Amino acid sequence: MGQVRLLGALRESKGRDWSDSFDGQEKDVQGVAARHRGTLVEIARDRDVSGREVHLFKRPALGPWLKKPDLYDGIAVQKIDRLTRRPVDIYLFFEWCKEHGKFLVSADGVDTRTRAGKAHAELLAMVGGWEWEAIQERNRDSRARAREAGRWHGGTVPYGYRITGGKGNWRLVPDTVPLFSTVADRRTWSPVDVLHWMIEMFLFGENGTGGWSYLRIAAWLDLHVPTSTGRGQWNHRTVKNMLRSRANLLGEDSHGNSRAKPLITMGLFQQVQREMDARARTIKPPRANANPLADVIWCPECTKKFHYLPQPDYADGTEHLGRYHCNTLNCPVKTIAAKELWEVLDAYMRLMASGVERHLLEVVPGVDYTPEINDLKVRISRLRRQDEDGDWEDDREGYRRRLGELRGKLRELEVEPVVPQSEQWTPTGETYGRFWESAALLGKGAELRRIGVKLWVDPRKPKGIGSGRINVEAPSGWLRWGLLEKPKRGNGS
């Protein structure tokens, strides 16, 4: 058998000076030819040709040769991706080979002349199909990449940003263009100014006189500031959403990718979130007929919570405290008057805790950038993966800039110390005796829930101490804390 004639096909992508140089490819292609005892009739060199964007059959150097299949028997490449990165071109190429009786050999083991080689090629074609999905996946990633690079792919423009640029290169930038002015202080305001003002008022208020409520901020905005759509009104919910929004304040998209310059620092953002959390924890005014002993009264028979049945006041105006009732089907435990429960609770607190100082457990918020650090690491490795897949081959500069940015941020956050959230008992300066005298029923109930008091109630048992009718269970960290670890002396106890 005579020597086979091979056409070498090299491809170098744009702006690359490593890993896919012509030198390396040519050496490998010559190796392939030697291994298959072939001669290279020609080496087609396509420089600055993206394997993704340029059709295989339209490649400046290789394209014309594919139109003259009589001049060679097969094609030799270093790796199949040097032929093309377009899966559809792989299919078309194999079809072309079949039609013209040509074959493909590569330095990484492809040889479509043998059965095994054909299977390998078919596998590659299958992989090509799979690759097709992977590439589409990558296209979605590349939209993410475009966002990361600050390009804009449509959608709602978050307040505080505006769109700039042109077709194919839209960007989100902080909107510092004056939008309106306030008459009294003759100040001009851009949307960015509005956001900064909101944060300042929310955290500190005017001249540090105490943070404003969402409602108050919304009311001010409604008087002075046009909404982003020009329609509708500012309300407390809008304000809340904006203060929570990473899109508005940090320039992120919904996947947490940065797509624009942040308007505030991460530290300030976290401070805002902590303040919002703290405000959410404060006790809301109870609704009418709220159960003062919710989560406190339990059924010993079926271990479920008792149901609260508010009752209308007596005819003479005396308040009816309501009834409690086990609602479980077929549970023999039935109804008890709330009045009886309160008598027991009052007696219990008087006996056990009147001299104990009331303490509140407070959460001291910490600082922890671990989620942000992990997020940055994920983004860095994703960026590297995209680069290995060749997604950045036409934008080396952009790749290096992006990587540098992410690494810089990572270094910045990695040196921040982690301060864990902690809890501390803060004395209120008030004894339980005094508290119990002055608190309303709802306040007393809230306190019992807080310190974990439970009442196991079985109205079938006779009234009286020790009958098992009402058992008080108090996992009394609060009590022990007051009595043992920090004894209160004197004080009439």
Cβ proximity of 49 and 22 under 8 Å: no
**Residue 331 beta carbon to Zn ion: minimum distance, rounded to whole angstroms:** 3
Q: Which one, 145 or 305, has the nearer CB to Zn ion?
A: 305
CB of 258 to Zn ion, least distance (A): 55
328 binds Zn ion (CB under 5 A): yes
Query: Long-range pairs for 90-93 at CB < 8 Å and ≥24 separation?
Result: 90/124, 90/125, 90/128, 91/125, 91/128, 92/56, 92/57, 93/56
- With contacts defined by CB under 5 A, name the span among 28-36, 220-228, 239-247, 295-303 that binds Zn ion: 295-303
H-assigned helices in 188-235: 191-203, 214-224
> Which of 241, 268, 265, 238 has its CA nearest to residue 251?
265
Helix (H) or strand (E) holding 104: strand 103-106
- Interface with Zn ion includes 299 (CB under 5 A)? yes
Cα–Cα dist 190/49, whole Å = 45
Question: In whole angstroms, how close is the CB of 322 to Zn ion at the nearest point?
Answer: 18
Q: Would you state the structure tokens that stand for residue 296, as one six-digit string?
A: 């406190």
Query: Which of these ranges, 147-155, 294-302, 368-376, 385-393, lies near Zn ion under the rule CB under 5 A?
Result: 294-302
**Which of 76, 105, 146, 326 touches Zn ion by CB under 5 A?**
326
Name which of 121 and 299 has its Cβ closer to Zn ion. Answer: 299
Q: Which of 429, 421, 437, 427 is nearest to 478 (CA)?
A: 427
For residue 342, the minimal CB distance to Zn ion (Å) is 21
Residue from 125, 134, 302, 403 touching Zn ion (CB under 5 A): that is 302
Cβ burial, residue 96 (10 Å; 0-12/13-18/19+): middle
Q: Which stretch binds Zn ion (CB under 5 A): 83-91, 205-213, 232-240, 332-340?
A: 332-340
Residues in the interface with Zn ion (CB under 5 A) total 7
Residues paired with residue 74 on neighbouring β-strands, in sequence order: 6, 103
Q: Provide the 8-state DSSP code for 485.
A: I
Q: Which residue has the tokens 């540098």?
A: 404
Site for Zn ion in 208-247 (CB under 5 A): none
Asked if 364 interacts with Zn ion (CB under 5 A), we say no
Please state, in angstroms and rounded to a whole number, the distance separating the CA atoms of residues 167 and 260. Answer: 18
Stretch that binds Zn ion, among 85-93, 266-274, 316-324, 333-341 (CB under 5 A): 333-341
Strands 470-473 and 454-457: antiparallel
Q: What is the DSSP string of 315-377?
A: TTSPPP--EEE--STT-S--EEEHHHHHHHHHHHHHHHHTTSEEEEEEEE--B--HHHHHHHH
Complex with Zn ion: residue 335 or 426, whichever CB lies closer: 335
Q: Which helix (H) or strand (E) holds 43?
A: strand 38-46
In the complex, least distance from residue 333 CB atom to Zn ion, rounded to whole angstroms:
4
Q: Please report how close the Cβ of residue 332 comes to Zn ion at its closest, in angstroms.
A: 8
> Taking CB under 5 A as the rule, does residue 301 contact Zn ion?
yes
> Is residue 334 a contact residue for Zn ion (CB under 5 A)?
no
CB-based contact 78:24 (threshold 8 Å): yes
Q: State in angstroms the smallest separation of the CB of 358 from Zn ion.
A: 32
Residue closer to Zn ion by CB (options 275, 301) is 301
User: Using an 8 Å Cβ cutoff, are 121 and 95 in contact?
Assistant: no
Q: Which is nearer to Zn ion, 160 or 459 (CB)?
A: 459
Query: Which one of the spans 17-25, 182-190, 222-230, 322-330 is the region binding Zn ion (CB under 5 A)?
Result: 322-330
Q: Does 90 contact Zn ion by CB under 5 A?
A: no
Task: Tell me which of 221, 293, 297, 333 binds Zn ion, using CB under 5 A.
Answer: 333
Between 291 and 386, whose beta carbon lies closer to Zn ion?
A: 291
Fill in the amino acid letter for 131.
E
Closer Cβ to Zn ion, 331 or 418, answer by number: 331
Does residue 307 bind Zn ion (CB under 5 A)? no
Q: Report the candidate in 71, 82, 109 with the shortest Cα–Cα distance to residue 9.
A: 82
Per CB under 5 A, the segment of 52-60, 65-73, 222-230, 300-308 that binds Zn ion is 300-308
CB 254 within 8 A of CB 155: no
**Based on CB atoms, which residue is closest to Zn ion, 301 or 412?**
301
- Name the site residues for Zn ion (rule: CB under 5 A): 299, 301-302, 326, 328, 331, 333
